[in-house]
C-alpha cells in the first residue's frame, strides 16, 4: 500500500453497491489485517473518510421517575441524544455523550405517564470520519416499573410449601405472582400481594414448579413492569 496504513476502511460489494464493513482500520507492520468473513463478496481496503452509521435505540423499563434508553455502539467519539413529545415533532438535544463506549442514557426530567420519543446520533472528531451520522429512528418511551427479580423459590418443610421471594420495586403498589408446571407452559396467577414473598402451599414437595412475577403500579396501566425472568424450584 502506497498510502497510509492507518484509518483505512473495509467495504464489500452487495448487488454492485459498496457496504461499509469496518472503519478506522490500522494495518499491522507486516501489512496484514485478519478478519473472519462469513459471506462471499468482493472486499476492498481503501483510504478516505468513513461514514458513521446510524444507531438503533431501544427503550428499557427503569422506574416511575426516569426513562432509560440504550443504543447500539458505533465508531466515533460519542453521541447526541434528542427528545420530543411527538414522533414527528421537533426534537431537542438533551444530552451529549462523550464516550463511544457509553451506550445508554437515563432521562430524569420526565413526567409520570407522559410519552416521549428519543433519537440518537453518533458524532466524531476524527478526521477520518464524517462529523456526524444520520439520526436514528424514533424510540417511544415512558416511565415504567422495572421488572422484579425472583431471588429464590425453595420448598420449606416448616411452611409446608414453596417459599418464593423477589426484589422490592420502588413505586410498585403490589405484585402479581404466576406459576406453571412447565417452563413454557401456561402460567396461572396464584396471588396478588403487597409483600415481596409468599408461601405457595399448593406446591408439593419434590415436584418442579416455575414462577414469574411482575410489579403493579395500577391495574391495567402501561406503567406496570414486564415479567421477571422465570425461576424454577429445581435450581435451588
Residue 35, C-beta contacts closer than 8 angstroms, at least 6 positions apart = 10, 21, 22
Mean pLDDT of the chain: 88
pLDDT band at 42 (very low <50, low <70, confident <90, very high): confident
Please answer whether residues 223 and 112 qualify as being in contact, where contact means their C-beta atoms are separated by less than 8 angstroms: yes
pTM for this entry: 0.71
200 pLDDT higher than 80: yes
Which pLDDT score, from 0 to 100, does residue 38 have? 77
Please answer whether residues 76 and 129 qualify as being in contact, where contact means their C-beta atoms are separated by less than 8 angstroms: yes
Cβ-count burial 95-105 (b if 16+ within 10 Å, e if not): bebeebeebeb
Give me Rg for the CA atoms of the chain.
Answer: 25
Of 3 and 62, the one with more pLDDT: 62
Residues in the chain: 236
Of 232 and 28, the one with more pLDDT: 232
Which pLDDT score, from 0 to 100, does residue 2 have? 45
CA-to-CA dists, residue 50 to 23, 26, 38, 100, 198, angstroms: 6, 13, 22, 16, 57
Mean pLDDT calculated for residue range 103-122 = 96
Helix (H) / strand (E) element for 226: namely: none
Of 159 and 143, the one with more pLDDT: 143
Residue 132's closest CA among 70, 53, 69, 72? 53
Which pLDDT score, from 0 to 100, does residue 165 have? 97
- For the chain, the distance separating the N- and C-terminal CA atoms, rounded to the nearest angstrom, is 60
CA distance 141 to 84: 11
CA distance 181 to 208: 7
- The tens digit of pLDDT for each residue in 133-154 reads 889 999 999 999 999 999 999 9
3-state SS assignment for residue 69: strand
pLDDT band at 1 (very low <50, low <70, confident <90, very high): very low
Residue 236's closest CA among 212, 204, 206, 215? 206
Q: Is 183 exposed, middle or buried (0-12, 13-18, 19+ CB in 10 A)?
A: exposed
Which pLDDT score, from 0 to 100, does residue 125 have? 82
CA distance 141 to 117: 6
pLDDT band at 235 (very low <50, low <70, confident <90, very high): low
Please answer whether residues 61 and 149 qualify as being in contact, where contact means their C-beta atoms are separated by less than 8 angstroms: no
Q: Which residue has the cell 426484589?
A: 167
Q: Which of 20-34, 121-135, 164-178, 196-210 has the lowest mean pLDDT?
A: 20-34
Q: Which residue has the cell 456526524?
A: 132
Amino acid at each position: 500500500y502506497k498510502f497510509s496504513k492507518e484509518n483505512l476502511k473495509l467495504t464489500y460489494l452487495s448487488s454492485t453497491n459498496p457496504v461499509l464493513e469496518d472503519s478506522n482500520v490500522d494495518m499491522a507492520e507486516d501489512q496484514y489485517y485478519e478478519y473472519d468473513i462469513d459471506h462471499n463478496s468482493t472486499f476492498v481496503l481503501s483510504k478516505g473518510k468513513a461514514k458513521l452509521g446510524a444507531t438503533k435505540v431501544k427503550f428499557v423499563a427503569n422506574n416511575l421517575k426516569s426513562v432509560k434508553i440504550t443504543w447500539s455502539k458505533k465508531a466515533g467519539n460519542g453521541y447526541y441524544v434528542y427528545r420530543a413529545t411527538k414522533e414527528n415533532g421537533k426534537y431537542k438535544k438533551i444530552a451529549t455523550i462523550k464516550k463511544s463506549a457509553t451506550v445508554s442514557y437515563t432521562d430524569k426530567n420526565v413526567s409520570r405517564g407522559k410519552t416521549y420519543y428519543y433519537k440518537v446520533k453518533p458524532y466524531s472528531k476524527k478526521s477520518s470520519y464524517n462529523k456526524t451520522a444520520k439520526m436514528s429512528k424514533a424510540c417511544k418511551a415512558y416511565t415504567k416499573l422495572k421488572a422484579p427479580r425472583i431471588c429464590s423459590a425453595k420448598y420449606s418443610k416448616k411452611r409446608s410449601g414453596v417459599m418464593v421471594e423477589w426484589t422490592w420495586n420502588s413505586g410498585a403498589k403490589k405484585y402479581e405472582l404466576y406459576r406453571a408446571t412447565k417452563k413454557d407452559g401456561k402460567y396461572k396467577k396464584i396471588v396478588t400481594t403487597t409483600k415481596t414473598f409468599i408461601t405457595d402451599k399448593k406446591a408439593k414437595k419434590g415436584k418442579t414448579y416455575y414462577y414469574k412475577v411482575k410489579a403493579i403500579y395500577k391495574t391495567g396501566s402501561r406503567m406496570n413492569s414486564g415479567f421477571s425472568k422465570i425461576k424454577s424450584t429445581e435450581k435451588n
